[in-house]
A and B are shown apart, each in its own frame.
Chain A
Amino acid sequence: MQIVKREEIVEGILEENALFSLEELCRSCRLPLEQLLEIVDEGIIEPVDYQQTTTSWQFAGNSVVRVRTVIRLQRDLGVNLAGAALAVELLDEIKVLRANLL
């Protein structure tokens, strides 16, 4: 195994400070447009402003992680989109509850 040492410092981007267009989201999640629109229709992610045309929609940075989680749950557990959406919401809730337990 080759070990590459990098001394440069890489700066992380806070997901929440970044906004993604629909196109960028497709690329980042490796999804075709139609599938991503279904995810929006399910209310799993929401554009900042619904009123705008889809081409100028913008999504909060944490949408990427959300969409990816939904895709993984769908692929691995055989649940449909609504089921995956429910699971993601419940997982979010568990996260909050767990944090409060500490």
Chain B
Amino acid sequence: MMEYKDYYKILGLTKEATQDEIKRVYRKLARKYHPDISKESNAEEQFKEVGEAYEVLKDPEKRAAYDQLVADLQAQRDFRPPPPRSGGAAHSADFDDFLANLFGQRGRGGAGGAGRVYQENGEDVHAKVSIDLEDAYRGATRSLNLRSFQQERSLNIKIPKGVKQGQHIRLQGQGSPGIGGGAAGDLYLEIAFNPHPLYRVEALDVYLELPIAPWEAALGGSVKVPTPNGAVDMKIPAGASSGRKLRLKGRGIPAQTPGDFYVTLKVVMPDTFSDKAKALYSELAREQAFNPRAGMGV
């Protein structure tokens, strides 16, 4: 009912905290929740909340005003029975007024109260888009819903081919609109790849572990290899061991200098052997003197 934020609680402190303590705890939480550092999805919200708390508590004057307000609200509640539900807004308005006073003209924008800063120029908007590796090969179109100052926009965005994990795409003038004739901000999209069951990506290079049969490893020859751009035929050299790395040049993510596609061979055995297959393997063992552990002294 009493809508005010407990800034001490947000910082995990008591009302008796010293200014030094407040600063130390804030710095620690700021590093923890900084959106550039934290991977938690609600980091930005937490960071803003911690920042707002610190903004008030770091300044002894503002802190005293805040303490006073909280005490007043407390007293109101103690002396008066809580007003009916609809009356709750009055208290939150008190608190909003209080904040508006503290932060002056640069106070909180809109009714949302997420601590947005009033500015002439539109703010840049940062967002993340997840795409599949295949999209990086061919380009893709994504529909994004963007919430800015006072409107929600739906935008179709063409993502060019050749994007890398973590890369940014800039859309000039597609950020928040300017206020009072200010220029619109830009929209920055950070590209993230959805995890792929087959491929691992490093910058523009793409890696695949390719299972091959023992006879393919022994004899070499052509095998089908999946790539994000469709299957290709690849020649395996005869006598290729597990772990051998082969490169398909230029078949990584396309770019001016496209990445490469790396195939690591993995020899796998069939689950079952027929009697005849067993006999053939026995013959092979007799035929070829080979100790793969010779280098281990056994």
Contact = CB atoms under 8 A, between A and B. Distances in A.
Contacts of B160: 11-14
A45 interface: no
B72 interface: no
Interface string A48-86: 000000000000011011001100110011100000000
Contacts of A3: 151-154
Interface stretch (B30-38, B216-224, B239-247): B30-38
Contacts of B158: 9-12
Interface in A1-38: 1-18, 28, 30
Contacts of A4: 151-154
Given A10-B158, A76-B34, A78-B27, A65 B152 contact: no
Interface string B36-76: 11000000000100010000000000000000000000000
B27 A99 contact: no
Given A3-B151, A12-B170, A15-B170, A77 B159 contact: no
Interface in B138-162: 141, 147, 150-160, 162
Contacts of A15: 167-170
B210 interface: no
A12 B30 contact: no
Contact of B156 (A8, A18, A28): A8
A96 B36 CA distance: 15
Given A1-B151, A69-B36, A102 B170 contact: no
A19 to B, nearest CB: 13
Contacts of B168: 15, 61-62, 64-65
Contact of B200 (A6, A12, A13, A102): A102
B247 to A, nearest CB: 18
A72 B36 contact: yes
B157 A12 contact: yes
B87 interface: no
Contacts of A12: 157-160, 169-171, 189
Contacts of B151: 1-4
B157 A77 contact: no
Contact of B157 (A9, A16, A18, A95): A9
B94 interface: no
Contacts of A72: 34-36
Interface of B: 27, 30-31, 34-37, 47, 51, 121, 124, 141, 147, 150-160, 162-163, 165-172, 174, 186, 188-189, 195, 200-202, 256
16 contacts: A2-B150, A4-B153, A4-B154, A9-B141, A9-B156, A9-B157, A10-B157, A12-B169, A14-B163, A61-B168, A62-B167, A72-B35, A73-B34, A77-B27, A91-B37, A100-B200
Interface of A: 1-18, 28, 30, 61-62, 64-65, 68-69, 72-73, 76-78, 87, 91, 95-96, 99-100, 102
